[in-house]
Amino acid sequence: MPLNIGLIGAGRMGSTLAHHLAFSVDSANLLAIADLSAENARRVAAQCNVSDVYTNYHHLLARADLDAVVVVTPTNTHAEVIKAAAQQGKHIFTEKPLSLTLEQCDEAIAAVKSARVKMMVGFMRRFDQPYLEAKQKIDAGMIGHPVMIKLVGRDPWRTSVEFARRENSGGMIADMAVHEFDLARWLMGSEVIRAYSEGECLVFPELKAVGDIDNAVINLKFANGAIGNVDISRNAIYGYDIRTEVIGSEGSLFIGGLQQTMVWTLKKNQISHDTIPGFMERFGAAYAAEIRAFVDCILEDRPIPVTGVEARAATAIAIAATRSLDEARPVTLGEIEG
């Protein structure tokens, strides 16, 4: 039997996941969509041939015919929606991050455990083929043991000023670098124990007015002694730039690049190619793969590949890195947990 799913949140990412559920995952039935904006809900429903829409997600959760929900609401509401869904016995896929505080992460994890439902968190880069291949090579020992990692996450645009407020997104580090923090733990096979951030608002003064920044670097120390560096930017005008280097004791891996199509134009004294315009062009297949994996895990009763506990760990690093930015000092993860 296919999995009957409801979507909560019909914005840009909600629309993306809705399309994958409706047209790319044969084992899923998208039956209902909820969004505070009736216009958003109706638009996505029409695109995905869904008849039932709600402006109150609790009404969607009350449906007995839904097995699971996909949560794509604003970041600061994830934990609230997860707890409500768990109480209704629904399996849950939620966009990253799990929450902005460890207390809310713990509440969400506890609610899922108490309800005996499954929850998966949407760190889609783990389902991207280049990252999957790199992880397999690391686990097979092809580069020896990892000793250093460099992660680049640069957007070609700034976020909205309202979203940039800490109370809405957690700030730039929590919003953007949480992907890199998850990749760092996953690829290095070790927990981060310390973060040291430097960041500033250098291009978009309107972000500074709401307490955010537009460029940052974060150094990481791992429990096994390895080291790492993350750089994030909101002003990569040349394109969407997501790359990772893993340096091992016996070799290295380079993951990702700037080129979208494999065409080079060669002229006198000039070589040029295109760049990746945005996250959907780079990770569209990964979004489809992650939601398919969620559905399969529920239907086949298999372990979830990205758990709430793992998502909590990425949030903890983001909190430590943000505190480091605010206090201009290295911050250990022990301080965050304490």
The pLDDT of residue 210 is 96
Residue type, 94: T
Calpha distance 172→166 (Å, rounded): 8
Helix, strand, coil % over all residues of the chain, rounded to 5? 40, 25, 35
- Residue 77, C-beta contacts closer than 8 angstroms, at least 6 positions apart: none
Residues 6 or more apart in contact with residue 155 via CB below 8 angstroms: 176, 233, 234, 236, 240
Fold equal for 3-124 and 126-284+313-337: no
Q: What are phi and psi of 189, to 5 degrees?
A: 65, 30
pLDDT on residue 279: 87
Instruction: Please give the Cα distance from 147 to 324 (Å, whole number).
Output: 23
CATH superfamily of 126-284+313-337: Dihydrodipicolinate Reductase; domain 2 (3.30.360.10)
Q: How far is CA 177 from CA 183, 231, 233, in A?
A: 10, 8, 10
* 237 HSE (CA, 13 A, CB side): 2
pLDDT score for 280 = 87
Domain boundaries, the chain: 3-124, 126-284+313-337
Please, are residues 63 and 6 in contact by the beta-carbon 8 Å criterion? yes
> Which 3-state string (H, E, C) describes the chain?
CCEEEEEECCCHHHHHHHHHHHHCCCCEEEEEEECCCHHHHHHHHHHCCCCEEECCHHHHHCCCCCCEEEECCCHHHHHHHHHHHHHCCCEEEEECCCCCCHHHHHHHHHHHHHHCCCEEEECHHHHCHHHHHHHHHHHCCECECEEEEEEEEECCCCCCHHHHCHHHHCCHHHHHCHHHHHHHHHHHCCCEEEEEEEEECCCCHHHHCCCCCCEEEEEEEECCCCEEEEEEECCCCCCCEEEEEEEECCEEEEECCCCCCCCCEEECCEEECCCCCCHHHHHHHHHHHHHHHHHHHHHCCCCCCCCHHHHHHHHHHHHHHHHHHHHCCCEEHHHHHC
- Distance, in Å, from the CA atom of 138 to the CA atom of 176, rounded to the nearest integer, reads 25
Run means of pLDDT, 10 residues per run, the chain, 338 residues: 96 95 95 97 97 97 98 96 98 96 98 98 97 98 98 96 94 96 98 98 97 98 98 96 98 95 93 92 94 97 97 98 98 93
Domain boundaries 3-124, CATH class: alpha beta
92: three-class secondary structure by DSSP = strand
CA distance 181 to 64: 37
Other residues' Cβ atoms within 10 Å of the Cβ of residue 82: 30
